Each structure stands twice: as structure tokens, then as C-alpha cells.
Structure 1
Amino acid sequence: MAVWTLGINHTTAPLDLRGRFAFAVDQIPGTLRALRESLSRPEAALVSTCNRTEIYCAGDRHQVEHTLDWMAHIGGVSPQVLRAHSYALQDDLAARHAFRVASGLDSMVLGEPQILGQMKDAVRAAEEAGALGTTLSQLFQRSFAVAKEVRTSTEIGAHSISMAAAAVRLAGNLFEDLGKVKVLFVGAGEMIELCATHFAAKSPKHIAIANRTLERGEKLASRFGGEVMRLADLPDRLHEFDAVVSCTASTLPIIGLGAVERALKKRRHRPMFMVDLAVPRDIELEVKALEDVYLYTVDDLANVVQTAQANRQAAVAQAEAIVDAGVQSFMHWIDQRASVPLIQQLNAQADEWRALEIARARKALAQGKDVDSVLEALSRGLTQKMLHGAMAELRAAEPQARERASNAIQHFFLRSER
């Protein structure tokens, strides 16, 4: 069985390219069906987050190039461009990558736990699409087990700085007192919830949630004593807020250059702190050039979140050792799977022989023959059928064939009991 993965992440591809390959959860089943139809229907799963998009496949043979061509077409780029910014891994290297991703070893925030939940979501989506088979199920279940062991056996996640905490730290560098700051959160997903939790701990002057659906926005706003507003009202109210954090699933920017320019004019050019955690972008890139705006993207936060990672190299080494053991175990399972058809054939053949001899024995007993002689004939018949192939090979005229058969027979039939 061949296993392969193709992906792009925060270390290999720029933000705008990653945005071309960002898939919402509800898009994944249809995308997987299209992928499998374009290839030879392999098992498939798709992991898509703000920092990575990865396709995992398993099938009778590797189809990395075909997968890359399909992915490039979906993203509207040439295969050459995608190849320059992607990674393709096979078999044990693909398994190692999956285990490292699940364990937070490949994340922008070393040891962060969010990716594990995102991978579990990807597995559920693949199951719903009917794209998950035995091999990928094993790969992901083992990756989850490895991630659990890494988190319980090492301090890989100790004192990690999350993206949300990094945003608060950067805001604190701009504003002397976050208690006097009005914060607007655009979106109501998991990342916004994390950011709102970190900002709320600093007791800002006011919190507002702008979301497409008011019901979900109200639920989140009520947790932090904030207000909820419609996305449609955002351009007219943007000037009220000192800090804006956005992370939605929109495929197009929802905060444009013109809206920010008008907001700055109303603020008399008091500075605005903005964080765009969405992929694709929620805030137009041109906003970053405005003099009174401090705009950060997920890539801009990389230096901040990596500052606490240098002291955890010992934990990383422990985690990598756990990953190594997991990879070895998975590849052993893959090797064993290759023998399954032969084992099934052997069992079927043995059952056929057994059925024939039992039928013959029952017929003899019905004819009134002696039980001991019937049992003797049954055992002799089974033995002869089992040894017939080996005996035939030993009688082969070709010396090399006889030698190979002799070695095999000694190995399988003449081993001494231990």
C-alpha cells in the first residue's frame, strides 16, 4: 500500500498563495470527491487551516504528480509554481509528517494543541465523504495517539505563546493601557474566541463582535460583556475602535482600504491596531501602507510566537523520539497489510481441505466404519494435502529449485520447539 501527502504551509508558501488553497469545512467533502474522481479513487483526506493545506492519500501506487497537477488546477496556479512552494512526502516520511503535525511540532506555535482538533475535523469530513479507508484511518488514529503521548510525556506545550496571546502582546506594545482600548472582533469562530478571551483578560474599555449571523455573535459577545453588530454596519462604525482582530471564512477581503481611510479621518489619525488572522485575507493588503495603521497578518506574528521556543529543545527531542517510534510501528503495520491477501488465500485453502476430509470422515462413519480408522484416515488426508506442495518442490528436477524448497521447508516445518 502506498501512502503520500502533498501540502503547503507557513514555512513554504506566502500568505496569498496559501489563500488560494484555503477550504472551509463544508467544502472538504466535495473537494475530496473531485480529487478521488480525478485519480484512481485513492483514500483521501484534506487538512486546511490558516497555516497549512495538506492532502493525504493512500492507494495501490503513488500518484504524487497527478495530485500536484490536480491541486494546482484547483488553486488556479501552474504546477511549477505549486511545486516550488509545496512538499511531497511518501510512506514513512508522510507518516512522520502527519505525526509531527498532530503533535504541534510543525506548527508556527510549537506545541499548540489547536491543530489536533483541526486534523480530527478533517478526518470526520473525509469519513462523511466516504473517502477514508483502512490505511488512512490507521494513519490518523496513530497520529492522534502519538500526539497524546507527546503532550502527556513532554513539556512541548509549556509556556507556549499562541497566536491570540501574540496579538495581545503586540497591542500592548502600541497602547500603554489596554484598559482604555476599544476592541472589535470580526467573526465568531474558534480563533476569534481565543483572541477575545486573551484580550478580555486585559479588561479593555469595550468589546464588540461583528459577525455575519447575529445569533452566534451574540453568544460570544455575552461571554465578555460586549455588544454584537452586523457586518454590514462595520464600515460606518470602524472608526470607533482602536484595535480590530479579524478571522472569517470569507473568500474576499471584508475590510477595504477605503473603509479604513475613512475611519482614520474620523479618528483624526489616532493609530489603529489591526490583526488579520484569516486565510485568504480579511483586510486588504494595501491597508498596511497607511501611516497610522499597524496591520499584522498570521505571517507577521511568526517572530513573536517563536520567542518562547528556544528553551524547549529538550522537549522537542523527546517528542521526536515518540514520533520515530510511532512511524516505525505504522510502517510495520503497512508491511503486515501486504501479507493479508496471502493469509486469506491460505486460510481459504485450509478450510477447503478441512471440509473435504470432514465430509469424507462423516460418510465413512455413516457406513459404520471404525471410529479410530476414520480419524486416522482424516488426519492422514489433511497431512498429505498440507505437504503435497512441499513434496512436489523437493522432487523438482532443477537443483536450485530443490535447494530453495529445502531451505523453506526446514524453516517452516522443521523448527525445533522453544
Structure 2
Amino acid sequence: MNQNIINARVTFRNSPIHILEQFTIKNMESAYEQFKKHSGLDECVIIQTCNRIELFGKSKTYDIDKIKKTWATITGLEEEAFDENIECVENKEALHHLLKLTSGLDSMVLGEEQILGQIKNSITSAREVKASGQHLNKLFDKAIRIGTRIRNTSGIGAGGISVGSMAVKLAEENIDELKEKKILLIGTGEVSTLVAKSLQRRRYAFDVTSRTLGRSETFCETMGGNPIKFEQVLSGFGNYDVMFVATTAPYFLVTNERISNAMKDKKGGMMILDLSNPRTVDEKVATIGGIKLMNLDQIAEMVEKNMNARLNKVKTVENIINEEVCVLEASMKRLDAEPLVKDVFKNIENLREKELQKALQMLDEKDEKKIKIIEELTKAVVESIVSTPMNNIRRASEQGKPDVLELASKLFDYKKQDQAD
């Protein structure tokens, strides 16, 4: 490629989270300005999540040390900090990595969906501040489409592979119109966080309760949900259709007696998912009419099956990526020819119009219909003559033949025109 695509990244794969955080970019707009001004990149897109900070850039010539220096200035780090933590690849390897990202193959959680949305947001932000341009806009648009297609055809993201997402998925499968049901989350620990994230992502409303209202309120500020007093919940289980129980209580919190009382006047059933270890839902609850109970062991078994199913699809996804990266590389190489092709068409069109006007003056033609016919004729002649060589130039560009582009530039006096502009 005449224009290089570069990827510089610091990710969970070679840096622990506490180190990774040091490379975080806080002011994105300012960072884009700095990278374009000082790193030698003409275009750039930054992808930043809790597991990675990645820079994709485009430049005819680039210096990785300039990129490191700019990044160090933005974050206040010493340049030496990058030596052990940063990975840099270019062109085909960079394209291959981007496809692994969009298809979910490079995520900490294999096949997870969130990264695709984060990549979409990244290119949107870069476009808004004009940090990206023709090359990276096209690259990201195509990579997002390819990644989406890979996910849909391979099923790499099918089934929940965290206890939280699996529990919510089971609720969806067992409860009709879940969005209209009352959902309760008991607990504010790690598993509750996973459940809350999954509920939030699917836009479900839910109540949260814990031993203290203050803890529930703090949890809801970051994770969503509506905090409810613990005592209010204990006497009001009947108000809920789905309960996720994830606590560390050393006794049965959801007892047979409480649920029996709750179900006396309740219309419809209830699903209870006990995600606690040890269990805090009395197993006898499962014998009550209208109750469906699932425990952590059952859910963990399903998670493991889904994880194994995803692992079995990795090879399929890698094969698709290897095929697609060649197509993506060709489309990026084709962009190298576009300025020349555009310039040639522009110059020929100017000549066509100039010669057409001279011919019309000589003919002294006034009939609009005849003028239109003559004009269309000149366009058709130009199109039929120019299209084949221009398509051949594009094809040569796709195939990575810079000598053809160079020769075409000389034939059409492209460099001279470019300098004149």
C-alpha cells in the first residue's frame, strides 16, 4: 500500500489492568489533535475499553517512536513504559487484528458483543472531530460489516458465558414479555454486578435490595436499577415475577414459608435464580406450584457448555477472517489509485466540455435537443475510452503493483497536476 495502516495497542494480553490503566487517554478530542499534529499520522482512530487502548492510523511514512512519544506526552508517561507493553503491527496484520476485534475473537470474553458497539462508537467519534478520513472510514465500515456477518454466520457469540448473562438469558427464555414483568435483584456483589450489567444492556427495569439501603443506592448509581429497602422485599416477594438472588448470607434468605405466602394471592408464576454460593434459596421452594427454581450449579454447567461451543467455533472464525482480510486489503490498496483516477476523469471532463463548446460554436447549433444528443455522445465516447484503462489501474492497485501506478502517473502527468493544485 502507498498508504500504511498502522495499529499500536496496549491490551490485557500483555499488560495487567493496573498497568493498562496508566495508558488510558482521558481527553479524546485533545488526543486526536496531538496524534495528527505530532505523530506523523494523517488519520487516526482510538479504541478504548477497560481491556484495551488501541490506535489505528494511516500515513504514507510513519515513525513508531513519534507515535510512542506523542502517546507518552498525552498520558504523562515515560517513553520507556511503552517498550514492554505496546504492540505494533501494520498493513495486513493491522487489518487482520481489526477483523479479530469486530468478530469477538480478541476479546477477554470470547465472542462478546460489547466490543463491536465500542468500535462503532470509536469510528463515529473520530469522524466527528475529523480525525479519520477516507482510508480509515472505509476500513472501519467494512470491518464492522464483516465482523457482524462473521458473528451471525458462525454463532461465536451465541449463548451466555458469564453467570450473570446466562441467568438473564434463562429468564428471557422462561418468562413471556419479560420487559413487562417485575424483576428483583438481591445482592450487590460481583455476581450481582454481572446480572445488573446484562439487565441494563437489554434495557430491563429492575429493583435492587441489600442488607443496607445505602449499599443498594450506591450500587444503583453505577449499575442502574431502583434501590428498595430490604425489609420491604422480605414481606413483598409476591410483587415480583423474577428474582435473581446473589448474596453471601449463611442461611436461607428466600425460605419455603415466605414464598408459599407470596404465592397465595399472586396471579401467575415466579422464576427464582439462586446465584449464591452457598445457596440462599431453600430447595423446597421448587415444590411450590407456579415456581421455577434454578441454582448456581445448573447455570454454571450451561455456561461451560456455551464456552466450549464458542471455543469449537474459533477455527471456523479464523478461516473466515483469513479469507476476508485479503478482500479488505485489496479494497484498501484500491484507494491508492483513486486520487489519480479522480484527477484523470476531472481533466478529461474539462477537455470534453471545452472541445464540445468549440464544436457547438462552429456548428452554430441552437436546437436544444440536438445539443443534448451531441453532449451525450461526447460523454459516451469519453466513458468508453477511459473506463477500461482506469479500471485496469484500480485493479493493479488492488493487486499491489505500484510500478503500474507510477507509470500511469507519468502517462497522465499526474504528479505535475498534483503539484499545480
TM-score normalised by the chain length of structure 2: 0.56
- In the other structure, the counterpart of 2:93 is 93
- In the other structure, the counterpart of 1:364 is 362
Residues 18 and 163 of structure 1: CA distance in aligned 2, closer, same or farther (over 3 Å): farther
Structure 1 residue 341 and structure 2 residue 343: aligned?
no
Distance in structure 1 (CA, Å) of the matches to 2:336 and 2:229? 58
- In the other structure, the counterpart of 1:11 is 13
1:331 is aligned, of 310, 319, 329, to 329
1:146 Cα deviation after fit: 1.5
1:166 Cα deviation after fit: 9.9
- Kept in 2: contact 1:8–1:18 (CA 8 A): yes
- In the other structure, the counterpart of 2:120 is 120
Distance in structure 1 (CA, Å) of the matches to 2:316 and 2:40? 39
> What's the C-alpha RMSD, in Å, of the aligned pairs?
4.6
Structure 1 residue 221 and structure 2 residue 219: aligned?
no
TM-score normalised by the chain length of structure 1: 0.57
- Kept in 1: contact 2:41–2:57 (CA 8 A): no
Q: Structure 2: which 5+ residue stretches go unaligned?
A: 169-184, 231-246, 250-276, 278-302, 387-406, 409-421
1:55 Cα deviation after fit: 0.9
Distance in structure 1 (CA, Å) of the matches to 2:75 and 2:43? 21
1:321 Cα deviation after fit: 2.5
Task: Give the letter for the 2:188 counterpart.
Answer: L
| Superposed CA offset, 1:278-309 (max 9, x none) | xxxxxxxxxxxxxxxxxxxxxxxxxxx99964
| Superposed CA offset, 1:158-202 (max 9, x none) | 34523856999xxxxxxxxxxxx963369x99996338899x99x
- In the other structure, the counterpart of 1:52 is 52
1:39 Cα deviation after fit: 2.5
Aligned residues: 288
Distance in structure 2 (CA, Å) of the matches to 1:124 and 1:367? 52
- Kept in 1: contact 2:150–2:320 (CA 8 A): yes
Residues 191 and 115 of structure 1: CA distance in aligned 2, closer, same or farther (over 3 Å): farther
- In the other structure, the counterpart of 2:176 is none
| Superposed CA offset, 1:266-285 (max 9, x none) | xxxxxxx9xxxxxxxxxxxx
Residues 193 and 311 of structure 1: CA distance in aligned 2, closer, same or farther (over 3 Å): closer
Residues 132 and 317 of structure 1: CA distance in aligned 2, closer, same or farther (over 3 Å): same
- Kept in 2: contact 1:111–1:156 (CA 8 A): yes
More relative contact order in 1 or in 2 (CA 8 Å, sep 6+)?
Answer: 1
Matches within 5 A, 1:367-382: none
Distance in structure 2 (CA, Å) of the matches to 1:160 and 1:191? 11
Corresponding residue SS for 1:79:
coil
Q: Structure 1: which 5+ residue stretches go unaligned?
A: 169-180, 228-240, 244-272, 274-304, 388-407, 410-418
Corresponding residue SS for 1:184:
coil
Corresponding residue SS for 1:57:
strand
Residues 325 and 117 of structure 1: CA distance in aligned 2, closer, same or farther (over 3 Å): same
1:349 Cα deviation after fit: 3.1
Distance in structure 1 (CA, Å) of the matches to 2:19 and 2:116? 23
- In the other structure, the counterpart of 1:316 is 314
The share of aligned pairs that are identical, in percent, is 21
Distance in structure 2 (CA, Å) of the matches to 1:41 and 1:363? 50
